[in-house]
C-alpha cells in the first residue's frame, strides 16, 4: 500500500461514521478523508464542521464532501451507512433493507476502480460484511467487518477493573456473532501470563466464575444499555474503526476480533464472516488465529456460525 497519501472514503456520515471521522482527525490516521452520504446536505455540513476543527488539531488532513468517483484511488472504504429499525420491523426486514442500501453502495465503490480494503461497521455487521464480499467480488482478505472488536474492548476494560490490571494486559476475546450469540471462550483468556481460569482456582475467595459470567453478560448487553440511555452507540465503535484503520496503514500485524471469512478453521466451511482473532496489516485480514476451544466453546461458536449462515441465506442480494 502506497503510504505517502493515506486516503479513506467514509460512506455513511451518521453518528457512527462521524465518530470515526472525528477520531480519525484527532489521531491523524490518514491524509485524506472523503465523506459520502445519501444525505449530501448532511455530509457537506459534516465536512465543514470537521474542517473548522483542523486549526486545533495536529493534523493537516484534507477533508471534503465527495462522491463515488473519489473511491478510485482510496486505500480504505469505511462503510457506516445504514437504515434504522422501524417500529414493528423485525431483524430480518432490517437486514433486507440494509442489503438494499449496500447494493446501492458497494458496486459503485468497485466501479470507480477502487482496489483497497473494505471496512464495514453497519449492523448486523457480520452479515453486512459478507454482503460486501459478495457484491464486491474482492478477495476475502480485503473485506473486513468490525465484528466483535468493540465487544472485546469492553470485555478487556471490565476484566482490567476486576483483576486490577491495565486492560492492555488482559488477553481475552469475545468471539462469534456480533450480537446475542457472542461469547467469551474463558479457556483462552489470560491475565498477562496467567490463565484466567487458573486465577479462579488459585484465589477462590477473590475471583469467581459467577463474576466472569456477569462480566460477559454485561458486555453482551452493553449496547442495549447504552441505547436505552442515549438512543444509540457511536463513540466506542468510531474509535474501534479508527484503530483498525491505523493498523492497516501502519502494516501493524495487530490482532482484532474482526469479522473475517473463515478459511477452514474449526472444521467449518469457508463461507461465513464471523468475529475471531485475526492479524490485520496493510493487506487486510492476513491470518486468522484458530483458538483451542473446549467442546462446549466450539458448540457456541458453531451456534453463532449457523445463525449467521441462516440469516445470510434468508436475504436476497
Which 95-134 positions form the footprint of ligand NAD (CB under 6 A)?
A: 101, 104-105, 121-123, 125
Asked if 16 interacts with ligand NAD (CB under 6 A), we say yes
The least distance separating ligand NAD from the CB of residue 167, rounded to whole angstroms, comes to 18
Rounded to the nearest whole angstrom, what is the least distance from the CB of residue 181 to ligand NAD in the complex?
15
| Min dist. Cβ of residue 103 to ligand NAD (A) | 9
d(CA 144, CA 261): 8
| Out of 17, 116, 176, 277, the residue judged to bind ligand NAD by CB under 6 A | 17
In the bound state with ligand NAD, the residue whose beta carbon lies nearer, of 125 and 184, is: 125
- The correct pick among 8, 9, 10, 11 for binding ligand NAD (CB under 6 A) is 11
Closer residue to ligand NAD, CB minimum distance, 108 or 287: 108
Q: In whole angstroms, what separates CA 168 from the centre of its chain? A: 19
Answer for which of 9, 33, 150, 245 binds ligand NAD (CB under 6 A) is 150
Q: How far is the CB of 68 from ligand NAD (least distance, A)?
A: 10
Least separation, in Å, of the C-beta of 121 and ligand NAD? 4
C-alpha span between 209 and 252 (Å, rounded) = 34
Residues in region 159-178 near ligand NAD by CB under 6 A: 178
Options 169, 171, 178, 313, the catalytic residue: 178
Return d(Cα 291, Cα 188) in angstroms, integer: 7
Nearest Cα residue to 172 out of 257, 104, 86, 50: 257
Q: Which residue is nearest to ligand NAD (CB)?
A: 14
Q: How many residues bind ligand NAD (CB under 6 A)?
A: 30
Shortest Å distance, C-beta 79 to ligand NAD:
9
228-233, long-range: CB < 8 A, 24+ apart: 232/15
What is d(CA 164, CA 174) in angstroms, rounded to the nearest whole number? 20
Q: Which 229-268 positions form the footprint of ligand NAD (CB under 6 A)?
A: 232-234, 237
Q: Which residues, in sequence order, are CB contacts of 202 under 8 Å at separation 6+?
A: none
Q: Considering the rule CB under 6 A, would residue 227 count as an interface residue with ligand NAD?
A: no
Q: Which is nearer to ligand NAD, 138 or 234 (CB)?
A: 234
Is 169 one of the annotated active-site residues of the chain?
no
Select the residue interacting with ligand NAD from 6, 10, 13, 23 (CB under 6 A). Answer: 13
Q: Which long-range contacts (CB under 8 A, 24 or more apart) does 179-184 make?
A: 179/124, 179/126, 179/307, 180/220, 181/300, 181/303, 181/304, 181/307, 182/148, 182/151, 182/220, 182/275, 182/304, 183/216, 183/297, 183/300, 183/301, 183/304, 184/155, 184/212, 184/215, 184/216, 184/219
3-state helix/strand/coil string of 34-83: EEECCCHHHHHHHHHHHHHHHHHCCCCCEEEECCHHHHCCCCEEEECCCC
Q: Of 31-90, which residues contact ligand NAD (CB under 6 A)?
A: 37-39, 42, 80-84
Stretch of residues binding ligand NAD (CB under 6 A), selected from 5-13, 154-162, 268-276, 287-295: 5-13
Q: Give the footprint of ligand NAD on residues 200-219 (CB under 6 A).
A: none
Cβ 57 to ligand NAD shortest distance, Å = 22
Residues that bind ligand NAD (CB under 6 A): 11-17, 37-39, 42, 80-84, 101, 104-105, 121-123, 125, 146, 150, 178, 232-234, 237
Active-site residues: which are they? 178
Amino acid at each position: 500500500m502506497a503510504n505517502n497519501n493515506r486516503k479513506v472514503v467514509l460512506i455513511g456520515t451518521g453518528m457512527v461514521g462521524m465518530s470515526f471521522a472525528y477520531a480519525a482527525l484527532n489521531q491523524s490516521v490518514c491524509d485524506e478523508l472523503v465523506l459520502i452520504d445519501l444525505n449530501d446536505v448532511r455530509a457537506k455540513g459534516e465536512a465543514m464542521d470537521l474542517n473548522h476543527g483542523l486549526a486545533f488539531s495536529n493534523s493537516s488532513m484534507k477533508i471534503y464532501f465527495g462522491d463515488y468517483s473519489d473511491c478510485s484511488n482510496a486505500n480504505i472504504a469505511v462503510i457506516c451507512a445504514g437504515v434504522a429499525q422501524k417500529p414493528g420491523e423485525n431483524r430480518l426486514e432490517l437486514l433486507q433493507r440494509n442489503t438494499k442500501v449496500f447494493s446501492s453502495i458497494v458496486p459503485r465503490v468497485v466501479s470507480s476502480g477502487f482496489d483497497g480494503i473494505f471496512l464495514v461497521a453497519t449492523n448486523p455487521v457480520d452479515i453486512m460484511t459478507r454482503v460486501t464480499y459478495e457484491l464486491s467480488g474482492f478477495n476475502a482478505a480485503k473485506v473486513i467487518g468490525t465484528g466483535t472488536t468493540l465487544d472485546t474492548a469492553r470485555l478487556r476494560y471490565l476484566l482490567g477493573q476486576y483483576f486490577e490490571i491495565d486492560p492492555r494486559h488482559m488477553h481475552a476475546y469475545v468471539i462469534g456473532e456480533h450480537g446475542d450469540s457472542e461469547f467469551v471462550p474463558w479457556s483462552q483468556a489470560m491475565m498477562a501470563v496467567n490463565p484466567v481460569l487458573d486465577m479462579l482456582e488459585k484465589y477462590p475467595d477473590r475471583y469467581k466464575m459467577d463474576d466472569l459470567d456477569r462480566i460477559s453478560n454485561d458486555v453482551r448487553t452493553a449496547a442495549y444499555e447504552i441505547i436505552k440511555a442515549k438512543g444509540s452507540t457511536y463513540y466506542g465503535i468510531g474509535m474501534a474503526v479508527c484503530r483498525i484503520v491505523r493498523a492497516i496503514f501502519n502494516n501493524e500485524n495487530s490482532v482484532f476480533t474482526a469479522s473475517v471469512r473463515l478459511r477452514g478453521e474449526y472444521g467449518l466451511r469457508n463461507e461465513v464472516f464471523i468475529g475471531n482473532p485475526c492479524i490485520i496489516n496493510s493487506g487486510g485480514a492476513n491470518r486468522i488465529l484458530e483458538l483451542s476451544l473446549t467442546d462446549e466453546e466450539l458448540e457456541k461458536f458453531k451456534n453463532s456460525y449457523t445463525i449467521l449462515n441462516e440469516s445470510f441465506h434468508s436475504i436476497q442480494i
